[in-house]
Amino acid sequence: MKAVVVGGGAAGMTAASRIRRLQPTWRVEVYEETPYVSHAPCGIPYFVEGLVRDKDELITYSPEFFRKKRKIEVFTNSKVLKIDHKAKKLTVLNSGREREVSYDKLIIATGAKPFIPNPKWLEVEKVFTIRHIEDGVSIRKRISKDKEVVVVGAGYIGIELSEALRKLGKRVTLVEAMDQIMPMFDKEVALDIEEYMSKRGVKIRKGEKVVDISQRRNGVLVETEKGSYKADSVILAIGVKPNVDLALMAGARRGETGAIYVDDRMWTGVEDLYAAGDNVEVLNLVTGRRSYMPLAPLANKEGFVAGDNVAGGSLRFPGAVGSAITKFYSLEIGITGISEANARKLGFKVKSVYISHSSKAHYYPGSKWIKVKLVVEEGSKRVLGGQIIGLEGVWGRISALAIAIQNEVKVSDLFFADIPYAPPFSPVLDPLIVAARVAR
């Protein structure tokens, strides 16, 4: 039996490893377009900053590791051009040569690619996207002497890049088409983030959609609906969209989000064809709808489930609530579930609270500010989402809240969440508990 995985990122390599684990005698092959597998795109902003010095540090395991330790045949620099799923054959391009590869079972884990409103912008010198390790290498090398950088897109990557660029001493203009930064957050939270970023020297231009990016004599000109910005370089971080072409070619279909549809076994509905990672949509446990969540931990788990089912297991991916976190300098920024604005758009009746508190007991030195927003469904009192920002302690509180939301906890029960207390770690009534008490 032979299982083939297309794409060697988090989902693909986890899937391949799971198959190997359950089926020691199968042949398992992975085809990856870039020179790397098991890479960590989330680390690229920290590589650009120089905090991660060597690009190789961003590779969790080398192709050699998989070949030798896990007996997985990894083919890098190998682009899959065609899939004939009826004949169970791939056409692979490597070093200018095409070859055919047969398989019994196929997992498509082709991930996502940056959303580019106009492909011509990328022809302009020193306009970058940021997705692959090479993008990071290229940016770090080519912007080193730049003074003025425009970042387009104020989502997670845009914010992480802004920090990296400020730390490198660049002047940074962050341009966002929506009327707030971090559009997955509610406006009042986004404003707090914006205020913090502005104080640290990021020029934020929101509500300005980029209409053109063009080469000028001394750099690049970014034109928006409202103004124009001259820069030495421009980085596009507008978001990603799923790489669906190969999966569609194999016979999979798109779901309502535009990403590949899979069931909770990561099965596309086509025999022996599975998909996992940033190219698929998953069930959003808060909304009950299918949702596109291109997040690394989910990709990993989806890969695990896909591999498990391909290899004869019966693991099911229950869905996710959409937890994410980032930071800008010392400001930690986290979200789980859905925002109030999103909830209302989806027809939920909600109330919300947004409270300020401190991260430790008031008398313990070094306590920091932290703010918690809770979104609660009226009637059912179910917690639908939370947004937390602050100078410490955000990750843990988002994690706790994520598990509460995943278990459909009511806000009155969240008040009774038995989270631990000691003065160096939290106030006796934790910010989460206080928010729940207010929102009851």
Q: Give least dist CB 371 to a second copy, A.
A: 17
Indicate whether 105 belongs to the interface with a second copy (CB under 8 A): no
> At 357, is the secondary structure helix, strand, or coil?
strand
Q: How far is CA 175 from CA 128, 304, 399, in A?
A: 15, 37, 30
Determine which residue in the list 28, 398, 435, 439 makes contact with a second copy, applying CB under 8 A: 398
391 contacts a second copy (rule: CB under 8 A): no
The one among 426, 431, 435, 439 contacting a second copy by CB under 8 A: 426
Task: Give the residues across from 224 on adjacent strands.
Answer: 210
Helix or strand or coil: residue 53?
coil
341 is written with which tokens? 């604005």
The reply on whether position 396 binds a second copy by CB under 8 A is yes
By the 8 A CB rule, do 365 and 164 touch?
no
In the DSSP assignment, the letter for residue 295 is -
Handedness of CA 267, 273, 274, 278 (dihedral sign): negative
Choose which of 181, 236, 244, 298 interacts with a second copy (CB under 8 A).
298
183: tokens are: 């559009």
Instruction: Report residue 206 as tokens.
Output: 């929101």
Q: How many whole angstroms separate alpha carbon 16 and alpha carbon 18?
A: 5
Choosing from 17, 180, 309, 336, the residue that interacts with a second copy (CB under 8 A) is 336
Helix H or strand E encompassing 6: strand 2-6
Q: Are 235 and 151 a contacting pair, CB within 8 Å?
A: yes
Tell me if 314 contacts a second copy by CB under 8 A.
no
Q: Exactly one of 42, 249, 353, 438 is catalytic; which is it?
A: 42
Cβ-based nearer residue to a second copy, 96 or 366: 366
Rounded CA gap, 297 and 274, in Å? 18
Determine which residue in the list 124, 193, 295, 370 makes contact with a second copy, applying CB under 8 A.
Answer: 295
Rounded Cα distance between 403 and 417, Å, is: 11
Catalytic site includes residue 438: no
- Residue of 272, 364, 381, 438 that binds a second copy (CB under 8 A): 364
Q: Applying CB under 8 A, which part among 82-90, 97-105, 341-349, 393-401 lies near a second copy?
A: 393-401
Residue window 43-62: x/- pattern of binding to a second copy, with contact defined by CB under 8 A:
x--x----xx----xx-x--
Using CB under 8 A, list all residues that contact a second copy.
10, 40, 42-43, 46, 51-52, 57-58, 60, 156, 285, 295-298, 300-301, 304, 317-318, 320-327, 332, 334-336, 361-365, 393, 395-400, 402-404, 406-407, 409, 413, 415-426, 428-430, 432-433, 437
